[in-house]
Amino acid sequence: MADMSVAYSSSHGLGEEQSIWFKLTPLLNQENPMQVLMALSEKYSGVIPINLKTQRIMLLSEPAHAERVLVTNADNYTKYFDGLRPVFGRSMITIDGALWQKIRRPQQAAFHPNMFEDYFPYLMSAIETKMARWAEYAESGETVEMVEETWTLAAEMVCKALFDREMPFNPHFVFKQVKTYTDVMNHKSIRLKSVRGELAEVTEEETAKAMEIWGSIPETVIGANIVDHREKTLLNMILEAEADPDFPEFDRQQVIDELKQYLWAGTETTALTLAWSLYLLSQHPEAMERIRTEARAVCGDEDPSWNQVQQLSYTRMVIQETMRLFPPIWALIRIAAGDDEIEGHKIKAGDKVVILSYIAHHSSKYWDNPEKFDPERFAPERAKKRMKYSYLPFAAGKRACIGGALSQIENTLALVQLLRRFTPEYTGPVPAKIHATVTLSPKGGLPFRIRKL
Ligand code: HEM
């Protein structure tokens, strides 16, 4: 049984000392945190119990564990979002039970696939903004940070397609504010930043300021220029729920929190997937070429039409394989409401349970040659043979991601359009280093140079 005694000095209230991310710092703050977790998981047969002074954390990595926690006994496991409240508020991603169901219901229709055709022109328009920017980068030859690039694209897609609003903020600035907060609350060590060559703690005021700016974004979005006066948008569904006199729970704060949630959950994950896929493609130029060949075969020299999107199947498989190798949400955290038993392991009420999607995705029990980049493993005939719950980029069960299907369309279109005009060249170290916090991001970013084709 793994035993970790963890001692931290006072933090003056900065971040969340009790947060699970702090507790796991000794495990995650390593040169290659995923390798360490995989070795431990192998040693302890898929169940790593971590006994701390006041609590127990169970790290689980088998598909059967995910099935129990996320699907068959999901009501026994509640969401864990300590430390992320300023980012998400009390939006639906953080709440449980009847209230979660009530808050989710009026928003669900915005994610039905029959809405995607409406979103299509706005997704394409956001990609055009990005292509104009990349044309400038290609001219100047400057180095760009790819996660920031893809985050700004994903943010514009959410604003235009789901809210019918022009993006009213500087996305590069907002991106930095959220990063300031999530970095600080995740890992004590990252509180130390370099100031004129000296290490200094990021101050409480800096994080407070970052979150104040973040908290003001939803109202700015609501008041921003309307793109097309569409009636059926996610923003209108949310505002109608607020206006419903029979729905007092959906007040203005709920509106603000739901918007914050979309501006983070709908951007960070989509952006990481696209950035990691460009990294993988830079290491596999033959796959990059295949995306271009597929695009030519399906659309000729034209931009894709909505009807052609489904035919871009290889591009989509690249996205799926990227989310297997680099799942943006690599760990799903729950708190056990009552006692349970998972595959012979006793879980006590109050235990924190962490489903390690990353390990299931990299297990040779469920994937041939798991470290190999092989998009074809998502071809329908091969995917059919996959072990259930061995692939969990969007989690599973009733709390699965509401935007999973939409994100794949966003990223398929982005890859096709960007790669037909540009070759992004990765200039960082290979393999890229992982930074495992709430999301799986590249340590120090992914530097690229953009070349025009
Ligand atoms: C590659 C892209 C994405 C990935 C990997 C991803 C992943 C996930 C995962 C793993 C969860 C479940 C978290 C948990 O159980 O603790 C989740 C929930 C959620 N995601 Fe996504 N997501 C993506 C894109 C999006 C997009 C585009 C949106 C919306 C615009 C979105 C909105 C949400 C919301 C609202 C929830 C909470 C659903 C609920 O609790 O009812 N996500 N996502």
Q: What is the pLDDT of residues 238-249, one digit of tens each?
A: 999 999 999 999
In a domain, 87, yes or no: yes
Span from the CA of 351 to the centroid of ligand 1 (angstroms): 24
What is the rounded distance in angstroms from the CA atom of residue 89 to the CA atom of residue 350? 22
In a domain, 216, yes or no: yes
In a domain, 97, yes or no: yes
Asked if residue 84 lies in contact with residue 64, where contact means CB atoms within 8 angstroms, the answer is: no
Q: Which domain holds residue 156?
A: 2-375+398-452
Q: Which band of pLDDT confidence, cut at 50, 70 and 90, is reported for residue 194? A: very low
Structural tokens at position 396? 């599973």
In a domain, 380, yes or no: no
CATH number at residue 255: 1.10.630.10
In a domain, 393, yes or no: no
Q: Is 252 exposed, middle or buried (0-12, 13-18, 19+ CB in 10 A)?
A: exposed
Q: Is 229 exposed, middle or buried (0-12, 13-18, 19+ CB in 10 A)?
A: exposed
Alpha-helical runs (H) found in 284-343: 285-299, 313-325
The 10s digit of each residue's pLDDT in 345-376 is 999 999 999 999 999 999 999 999 999 999 99
In a domain, 382, yes or no: no
| Single-letter residue type at 428 | G
The 10s digit of each residue's pLDDT in 92-133 is 999 999 999 999 999 999 999 999 999 999 999 999 999 999
Structural tokens at position 419? 């790669």
Span from the CA of 343 to the centroid of ligand 1 (angstroms): 27
Average pLDDT for residues 261-285, to the nearest whole number? 96
Out of 20-34, 37-51, 243-257, pick the least confident.
20-34
Q: How many domains does the chain have?
A: 1
What is the rounded distance in angstroms from the CA atom of residue 241 to the CA atom of residue 418? 37
Residues in contact with ligand 1 (CB, 6 Å cut-off): 92-93, 104, 158, 261-262, 265-266, 269-270, 273, 323, 328-329, 332, 393-395, 399, 401-404, 406-407
Q: What percent of the chain has pLDDT over 70?
A: 90
In a domain, 240, yes or no: yes
pLDDT beyond 90 at 10: no
Question: To test ligand 1's pocket by mutation, which of 233, 269, 320 has the most ligand atoms within 8 angstroms of CB?
Answer: 269
The 10s digit of each residue's pLDDT in 68-86 is 999 999 999 999 887 777 8
The 10s digit of each residue's pLDDT in 209-224 is 888 888 899 999 999 9
What is the rounded distance in angstroms from the CA atom of residue 80 to the CA atom of residue 88? 12
Residue nearest to atom 10 of ligand 1 (CA): 394
In a domain, 134, yes or no: yes
